[in-house]
A and B are shown apart, each in its own frame.
Chain A
Amino acid sequence: MSAPPGPHARLAGGLLLWYGVLGGAVAWSVHALAAWSLSELACASGSERVAAVPLWEAVGLAVVIPGLAAVGSLLVAVLAWRRTTRARPAGGDSALGRSRMLAAVGIWSNLLFLTIIALGGVAVLVLPPCQR
C-alpha cells in the first residue's frame, strides 16, 4: 500500500497542494480583516486616507491582492485534480485518493471564497467608504 508516489503525483503532497486546498480560505480571511480594519480605523479617525493613500484605493488593494491569491490557489487545485485523476492507478492507492479528494475540496472552496472576495469588491465600488 505504501509504494512511493510516482512522478505524476508530485502535486499529491507537500506545500503546493495545501496552497491549493487552503489558499482561498486564507486569502479571504486576510481580505476580510484588512478591508474591515482599514475602513474602520480610517473612518473612526475622521480621514478618508490611509497613510496618504485614498481609502478607496487602499481598500481596493485589500480586495485585489487576496483575490489574485485565491485565483492562484484555484489554478493549483485544478492542476492537482487533473494530475491525480490521470495518475490514478488501478488498485486505488490511498495516498492518491486522498490527494484527489483534497484537490476537489480545494477547487470548490476556492470558488466559494473567490465569490465572497468578489462581493466584497463590489461593495467597495458601490458604497462611499465612510457612510454610516
Chain B
Amino acid sequence: MSTTSTPSAGVGREDLERLAAHWEERPSLRAWLSTVDHKKIGRRYLVTAGFFFVLAGLSALVMRTQLGRPESGLVAPQEYNQLFSMHGTAMVFLFATPMLFGFGNFLVPLMIGSRDMAFPRLNAFGYWVFLFAGLFMWASLPFGAAPNNGWFGYVPLSDEQNNPGLHMDVYALGLLFLGISTTSGAINFIVTALKLRAPGMSLNRVPLFVWAIVATAFMVVFALPALNADNAMLFLDRRFGTHFFDPSHGGNVLLWQHLFWIFGHPDVYIIVMPALGIVSAVLPAFTRRGVVGYVLVVLAIVSISIISFGVWVHHMFATGLPQLSFSFFSAASTIITIPSGVQIFAWLATMLLGRLVLRVPLLFVIGFIVTFVLGGFTGAMFAVTAFDQQTTDTYFVVAHFHYVLIGGAVFPMLAGVYYWLPKITGRMYHEGLARWAFWLFFTGMHVTFFPMHLYGLFGMPRRVYTYPNIAGWAGWNLVSTIGSYLLALGVLLTIVGVVHTLRRGRPAPPDPWGGDTLEWSTASPPEPYNFPVLPRVHSLHPTWDARTAESTGPGASADRVLSGGRRTLLTSELDARQERAVAMPESTLKPLALAGALLLGFTALLLAWYPVAVVAALAVAATLAVWLWPPRLPEQEEVGP
C-alpha cells in the first residue's frame, strides 16, 4: 500500500530548496523555544498531556493501593481528598482535552492540505499556557495545597468558610489560566478548518476527524465561558468577600451547579467527540473502505454537539425542581443516544463491509467499542430516576464514567497514537510490544472497573479514603486494585513502545497503512512546509483518488507551490474555492513571553502578592502591544486566484 517518497513531479528542485529555506528552523535553544510549527506544537501537546496522564494515573494508583484492603492507613483523609480531586481535575482538564488538541494540532493542517494553523503564534501561546497552567496546578500537590473538593468543586463546600487555605484558589485560578489556552486553541481550529482547506475540499469532502475537531472547538467556545464565570466568581467570593454563592447575602448556591454543568455536560462530549473522530480516521485504513454513512456521521457529530448543551439539568435531579421542567431535559438526554448509536452502527457496518486488517490500532478501536457500549448501558440506567437516586455518589457512578471516559477517550487515543506514530516519528512501532500493551490495558481496565459496579450496588460510597471490613466490599476492592496495576503495566509498555520506536523503529514509508486522508500523502515525518505542492482535492478520500494525486504531480500549478516565503493558501468557507495566498509568521519568542507573564500574574494572585500581580498585568499588556504592533510588511508578491 505504501508509495515511494512524495516530493513530486509537480515541483522543481529550485522550488523545493526555496521552500526548505523559508520553513526551516535550525536546531538551537532559541529555535526550540520560539517555534510556531503546528507539528512540533502538536507533538509537545501530546507529550505534555501524556506526562500529566502519568501523574494523574500515579495518584489513582495511590488511591487504589489505599483502597486495596479495608481500614488501611497509607494516606490520611486530607491527602485522599487532594488525590482524587487532582486525579479527576487533571484527567479531565490537563490530559483528555489537551491530548486531543495535540492530535488536532498535528493533524488538522495535514488533513486539510494546509501548511500550518491559521494563527501559528497563537497556537504556540496556547501550548505554553497549557504547560504553565498544568505545572501551576500540579505544583500545589507537594505543598499539600492541591484542590480538595472533587473535580466539580461544589459550593458551599468550596467557599472560604468551609474550605480555608489555598486549595480551591489553586483550582479556580488554575482552571481560569488553562481556559485561556483552551479557548485560543479552539478559535484557531475553527478558523483553520474554515479558511485553510485545500482547494476543492468542500464541506462534503472534509475528513470526519476534522468535523469532530471543529464541532468540539465550537463546543469549547460556547461552554467554557460558563466555567470561567463560575471560577472567577468563586475566586472573588473566597478572596475579596463578594457573595455570588452566599445565600445569606442574597447569593445563590445552585448558581455554581447550573454554570458548572452548562459547561460540564458538553465537556463530556468535548472529551469524547474528537476521540470518536480518531476512530473514524483509523477505521478506513484497516477496513480498506470509507466509513459507511458519511453524512449520517457528520449529522451525529453536529447534533450531539448541539444537544449536549440542552441537558445539563440531568446532573441536578437531586435538587428538587418541578417534574415538568426536568422532563424537557430528560427528553433530550435520552434522544442523544440516537446520534451516538448512529456512529457506532456506522463503524460496525464499516467493519462488516470492509476487509479487516487486525493491527494494533484496530485492536484499540475494538476495545473502545466494547468498553464504550458497556458504559453507555450503565449510563442509560441512570435515566431511570429511581435507579439514579439509589446509585448517586456510589462506586457504581465511578465505574460508569470510567467506562465512558477510558472507553470513549483513552482507547481511541491509544489507537491514534499507534496509527500516527509512523507519521509523527517517521518510524514504525514494535508490533509485539504493542499487542502486549493492548491486552494488559484492556484486561486491566475491565478488572479494575467492572467490580466497581458491584460494590457500588452494595452501597460503597465514592470519595471515601477507607471503609470498614464489610462482606462484599473488601474482596472486590482488592480485585480492582490488582486490575489497576495491570492497567498501569499496559500504560508503561506503551511508553516503552514509543521510546523503542524513536530509538530502534524501522524507518516508516509515507503511507504504511494505506490511509485515505491527506496526511498520508506527505513524507514521514512531514517536511516543515507539509506539502511541496498544496493538493487540489477531488473526493472524500483524496489519497485513494487519482485526480487528487495528479494535482500535485505534473498537473501542479505555480499558485499551489507558493515557494516565495512562508505562505499558504486561503479558500472560501463552504466550497473551498481558491482565494489568495497569505503570509505565515516566522518563529518568535513573544508567545512564550506572554505566557510567562501570565504565569507570574496567576502565581502572584494565588499568593496574594498584589503588587507583583499589577506588575505582571503591565508585562502582559506590554507583550501584547509588542505582539500586535503592525509589522513592516515585506513587498507583497502578486498571486493569481
Contact = CB atoms under 8 A, between A and B. Distances in A.
Nearest to A33: B310
Given A28-B310, A94-B575, A95-B575, A127 B204 contact: no
A116 B332 contact: yes
Interface in A86-116: 94-95, 97-98, 100-102, 104-105, 108-109, 112-113, 115-116
Interface residues of A, number: 39
B574 interface: yes
Given A29-B310, A32-B328, A123-B331, A105 B575 contact: no
Contacts of A124: 324
B27 interface: no
A83 B84 CA distance: 56
Given A101-B298, A105-B298, A112-B303, A94 B202 contact: yes
A119 B331 contact: yes
Instruction: Kindly name the residue among B203, B302, B309, B328 whose own CB sees the greatest number of chain A CB atoms within 10 A.
Output: B328
B329 interface: yes
Contact of B202 (A40, A43, A95): A95
A72 interface: no
A105 B295 contact: yes
A45 to B, nearest CB: 12
B203 A36 contact: no
B91 to A, nearest CB: 30
A1 interface: yes
Contact of A32 (B202, B203, B298, B310): B310
Interface residues of B, number: 35
A120 B311 CA distance: 13
Contact of A127 (B203, B323, B339): B323
A98 to B, nearest CB: 4
Given A32-B310, A102-B203, A116-B332, A2 B322 contact: no
B338 interface: yes
27 contacts: A25-B303, A28-B310, A29-B310, A35-B325, A39-B325, A59-B324, A94-B202, A95-B202, A95-B574, A97-B202, A97-B204, A98-B203, A101-B298, A112-B303, A113-B303, A116-B332, A119-B331, A123-B327, A123-B328, A123-B331, A124-B324, A127-B327, A129-B324, A131-B322, A132-B320, A132-B321, A132-B323
Interface of B: 200, 202-205, 295-296, 298-299, 302-303, 306-307, 309-310, 313, 320-325, 327-332, 335, 338-339, 574-577
- 9 shortest A-B CB distances, which residue pairs? A123-B327, A119-B331, A101-B204, A94-B202, A98-B202, A98-B203, A39-B325, A32-B310, A104-B295
